């Protein structure tokens, strides 16, 4: 093989994920589906965990039809026995996990004074405890071989309180600390753990908001990059963190919000500075 061809081949596997086993939770929809697609395109064997069995099967079939290796598994990540069983199946059918993307999550509305204990506990059970259960089941496969990467999808809401959203912000803040604790505990065994804080990404989770006319433009107007995020915007970052390209990134938190969290001072009315038409929402 010529040097030029060799470099093209090396470039095609820039991430080095080919042949690796990547587990994605919440893979049937939105960000998780985009991560699973991206990992498969990068040559990884992908395990698609979701409580939505039909959705996971649909994506696995679509990936298989394009020649990728994909395994769909129905799994409620808040159920320890179910997670352990899924981990055993992945190891038996795809080999031990090289990477895990903790992504399955849910949002239940409710002001702090009114949110039901059942809703509070359900959100923590999936968004926080579910991340721990998956991390230690699949993480054990990684520490056993002395290498692996865990990517935790948290949220901008884990850094800034999202009001009237019950336990959502608290669960995501918990994920950020859990991610750093895993980095500290498992880093010596060769396993990295990092978190991504997505800003506003258009998926099934947020789709009903966009039914309101003009909402997308209003949200874009308070985002530095002046657009709403797409699932792929998060998937690209997750793939980088999964890969050896991020081999010395451990315990980090990456804000992927189009610069929205940098806008605080811009939102403060300052006559003469930010009262131009620049931030006015575009016509719907």
Ligand X SMILES: NC(=O)c1ccc[n+]([C@@H]2O[C@H](COP(=O)([O-])OP(=O)(O)OC[C@H]3O[C@@H](n4cnc5c(N)ncnc54)[C@H](O)[C@@H]3O)[C@@H](O)[C@H]2O)c1
Rounded Cα distance between 93 and 147, Å, is: 19
Choose the stretch contacting ligand X; rule: CB under 6 A; options: 7-15, 140-148, 194-202, 218-226: 194-202
DSSP state of 66: T
Q: What are phi and psi of 130, to 5 degrees?
A: -60, -35
Smallest gap, in angstroms, from Cβ of residue 253 to ligand X? 13
Contacts with ligand X by CB under 6 A: the residue count is 30
Cα separation, 242 vs 244, in Å, equals 7
Instruction: Choose one: 30-38, 90-98, 187-195, 259-267; the region binding ligand X (CB under 6 A).
Output: 30-38
Rg for the chain, CA atoms, rounded: 20
**Which one, of 171, 170, 153, lies nearest residue 257 by Cα?**
153
Q: Which residues between 39 and 98 bind ligand X (CB under 6 A)? A: 50-52, 55, 75-78
Identify residues 105-164 at the interface with ligand X (CB under 6 A). 105-106, 126, 130, 153, 155
Stretch that binds ligand X, among 5-13, 101-109, 134-142, 178-186 (CB under 6 A): 101-109
| CA atoms within 13 A of residue 200's CA, in its CB half-sphere | 22
Distance CA 125, CA 123 (A): 5
Q: Which is nearer to ligand X, 32 or 148 (CB)?
A: 32
Instruction: Decide if 168 is catalytic.
Output: yes
What positions carry a catalytic annotation?
168
Instruction: Give me the residues that bind ligand X (CB under 6 A), please.
Output: 25-26, 28-32, 50-52, 55, 75-78, 103-106, 126, 130, 153, 155, 198, 200-201, 203-206
């Amino acid at each position: 093989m010529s040097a030029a061809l060799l470099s093209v081949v090396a470039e095609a596997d820039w991430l080095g994920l080919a042949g690796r086993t990547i587990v994605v939770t919440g893979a049937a929809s939105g960000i998780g589906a985009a991560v699973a697609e991206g990992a498969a395109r990068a040559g990884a064997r992908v395990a698609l965990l979701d409580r939505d069995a039909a959705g996971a099967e649909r994506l696995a079939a679509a990936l298989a039809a394009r020649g990728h290796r994909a395994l769909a598994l129905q799994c409620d990540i808040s159920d320890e026995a179910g997670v352990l069983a899924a981990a055993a199946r992945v190891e038996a059918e795809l080999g031990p996990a090289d990477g895990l993307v903790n992504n399955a999550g849910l949002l239940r509305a409710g002001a702090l004074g009114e949110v039901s204990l059942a809703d509070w506990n359900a959100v923590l059970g999936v968004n926080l405890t579910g991340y721990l259960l998956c991390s230690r089941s699949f993480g054990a496969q990684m520490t056993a071989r002395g290498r692996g990467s865990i990517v935790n999808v948290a949220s901008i809401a884990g850094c800034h309180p999202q009001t009237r959203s019950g336990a959502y912000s608290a669960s995501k803040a918990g994920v950020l600390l859990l991610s750093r604790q895993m980095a500290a505990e498992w880093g010596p065994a060769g396993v990295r753990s990092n978190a991504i804080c997505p800003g506003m990404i258009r998926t099934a989770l947020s789709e009903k908001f966009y039914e309101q006319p003009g909402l997308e433009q209003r949200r874009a107007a308070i985002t530095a990059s002046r657009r709403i995020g797409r699932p792929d915007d998060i998937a690209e970052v997750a793939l980088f963190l999964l890969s050896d390209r991020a081999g010395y990134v451990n315990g980090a938190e990456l804000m992927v919000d189009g610069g929205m969290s940098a806008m605080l001072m811009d939102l403060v009315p300052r006559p003469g500075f930010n009262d131009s038409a620049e931030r006015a929402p575009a016509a719907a």
